[in-house]
Structure 1
Amino acid sequence: MSKQSPFAREDVMEDYLDSLLKEPAVSVDISANQVVSDNVEVDDATVRAAKLLEQASQHIADEPVVKCDVPLSQNVEIIEPAVASEKSTAVEDELNIEEVQIRETRVEDDITPADENAAHAQTKIALKDSLDFRFQALFFEVAGLTLAVPLTTLGGIHQIDKIAPLFGKPDWFMGVMLHRESKLNVVDSAKWVMPEKYNEALAESLDYRYLIMLGESAWGLASEKLVNTVNLTKDDVKWRESTGKRPWLAGMVKEKMCALIDVEELISMLNKGLGSNDQTP
């Protein structure tokens, strides 16, 4: 079966991303060496996936590092979520743990759910403002559309295994995938991101292989292909200029025709059961 994609031409993809941002079109020139072949073997994809995150982690200072200790010849789980290094000594822990627990208890007693929502709204920072001028992002593909997640908000990458469907969930919710003792929520990325282009032919052509984990949440985006880890600057991104619809879309990486995801906004929408085009409260 031939690969079905709604973005057979570059100009179609550009127009689509621009329509999501609702801003004038940007001229795009993409070179041939930026295009990844559709005929990559499974083993080659596994090798690339293992290397690209390991390479990227070496350039992120003072951030959780995404590690990969998997033998490259095996078709197994690729990337584990980052684990923060422990810098405090045992003596410091013993002296401070009781005081910290007391403070946390007092704060929890004083905060109501309404206060929590208000505090979240006040402290929320736009992705553009939270990133350094130079940052790295993982590029991956879904139905011919390239998506990007900043490495600072990437929770890990897993190979997709058996998914157990659940009743009473949105149609874009594929089900739950067990990983060790964790239950990971798998999102049909094509159906969630571009429901207006999703049809039976597209659904049958999808070949999801990887699960892109979002931050520290249990949500993961199903992906067909891991493209690369890319060095970017804020000037490389055409940032959204208005709030409201599609808050998950932080902007478009202009020279690569790629949608940059605001992971925190996306997690918030998924937690509320919202689709990509739904208006947030």
Structure 2
Amino acid sequence: MAKPLAASNKVMKNYLSELMTDETPVQKKPENSVAESITENKQLEDLLQNVNANLDVKETEVMTRKSVNEPLSNKSIAVIDTIKSAVETSLVTQKSHGDVSVKSQKLYREGDFQALYFDVGGLILAVPLIELGGIHQVDKTTSLVGKPKWFKGVMLYRDEKINVVDTALWVMPEKCDEKLKASLNYQYIIMLNKSGWGLSAENLIDTVILKQEEVKWIDSPSKRPWLAGLVKDKMCALLDVDSLIQLLNDGSGINEVDS
């Protein structure tokens, strides 16, 4: 048991460390940049410990969990109600501001903004509510030939066809061994803005109000355009929804992006 866990630790550590490391020309870094790097590494170590703890719990639960969806908890219902209200407000705001596809012009970069935390395979992700198109409960999907492994299939919701993404396979494909795949219990589909794409999620953790200084923003061009920044206290990835949609439309997985 120790060896597989150690290997998992190494893979996740490398992945998380690379999130904030771009391939740039070698330059002498100022002392404050070195200090920031040390702080980031410490935060990544803390996140790694949390991920491993979550995976240990999931390994125990998977033996008794039913394959069918369980009734929504009161907390999940409250989160969804909050999201519905926020999404309706954001749609009105977007119409009044026009297109906000450019990173520097995103509405959530002005003042406080709301975000949804959700988790996948022990990893916490965040999405700005203003770029959230809605949330659905998982239903059966229809597979399509010739699609990437991370494409779970098409799910029908009323008259809408949703392209469902296996989020764990897209975000951390190198970590998705058989053990992790067997432990995944996707319950929700997180819709990305007005697109037909939805991310599979295991749990809706909470909706929060974030201040600009609580996020380590990635403003310069990056080899990870899907990453808007890292929420400092949670050290979770804040998704750049518009960039992620473009990558999904192009059929690009994270390996193609990061290579």
Common fold: TM-score over 0.5:
yes
The change in CA–CA distance for 1:252 and 1:12 in structure 2 (over 3 A counts) is: farther
Which residue does the alignment assign to 2:31?
A: none
Q: Output one character per residue of 1:160-186: Cα deviation in whole Å (capped at 9) or x when no partner.
A: 011111111111100000100111000
The change in CA–CA distance for 1:220 and 1:245 in structure 2 (over 3 A counts) is: same
Which residue does the alignment assign to 1:150?
A: 128
2: CA distance, partners of 1:266 / 1:258: 16
**2:45 aligned with 1:21:** no
The change in CA–CA distance for 1:12 and 1:171 in structure 2 (over 3 A counts) is: closer
**2:50 aligned with 1:50:** no
Percent identity reads 44
Taking structure 2 as the reference length, the TM-score comes to 0.71
Which residue does the alignment assign to 2:30?
A: none
Deviating more after overlay: 164-173 vs 47-56: 47-56
Give the deviation of 1:130 after TM superposition: 3.0
1:119-198 map, 5 Å: 124-126=101-103, 129-131=106-108, 132-198=110-176
The change in CA–CA distance for 1:173 and 1:223 in structure 2 (over 3 A counts) is: same
Q: Which has the larger radius of gyration?
A: 1
Q: Output one character per residue of 1:98-143: Cα deviation in whole Å (capped at 9) or x when no partner.
A: xxxxxxxxxxxxxxxxxxxxxx9xx742167431220110000000
The change in CA–CA distance for 1:148 and 1:185 in structure 2 (over 3 A counts) is: same
* Matching residue within 231, 246, 249 for 2:224: 246
Number of aligned residue pairs: give it.
218
Which residue does the alignment assign to 1:79?
A: none
Give the deviation of 1:12 after TM superposition: 8.4
Which residue does the alignment assign to 2:33?
A: none
Q: CA RMSD in A?
A: 3.6
Contact 1:147 1:258 (8 Å CA) reproduced: yes
Give the deviation of 1:243 after TM superposition: 1.8
1:239-278 map, 5 Å: 239-278=217-256
The change in CA–CA distance for 1:6 and 1:267 in structure 2 (over 3 A counts) is: farther
Contact 1:7 1:145 (8 Å CA) reproduced: no
Partner amino acid for 1:229? T
Deviating more after overlay: 265-274 vs 127-136: 127-136
1: CA distance, partners of 2:6 / 2:117: 19
Secondary structure class of the residue paired with 2:79: helix
Give the deviation of 1:221 after TM superposition: 0.3
Instruction: Determine which structure has the larger helix proportion and give its number.
Output: 2
Give the deviation of 1:259 after TM superposition: 0.6
Partner amino acid for 1:48? K
2: CA distance, partners of 1:46 / 1:176: 26
1: CA distance, partners of 2:162 / 2:144: 12
Partner amino acid for 1:187? V
Secondary structure class of the residue paired with 2:182: helix
1: CA distance, partners of 2:246 / 2:6: 27
**2:88 aligned with 1:64:** yes
1: CA distance, partners of 2:104 / 2:74: 30
Contact 1:17 1:259 (8 Å CA) reproduced: no
The change in CA–CA distance for 1:5 and 1:149 in structure 2 (over 3 A counts) is: farther
Contact 2:8 2:175 (8 Å CA) reproduced: no
Which residue does the alignment assign to 1:225?
A: 203
Give the deviation of 1:273 after TM superposition: 0.4
Partner amino acid for 2:205? V
Partner amino acid for 2:175? K
Partner amino acid for 1:17? L
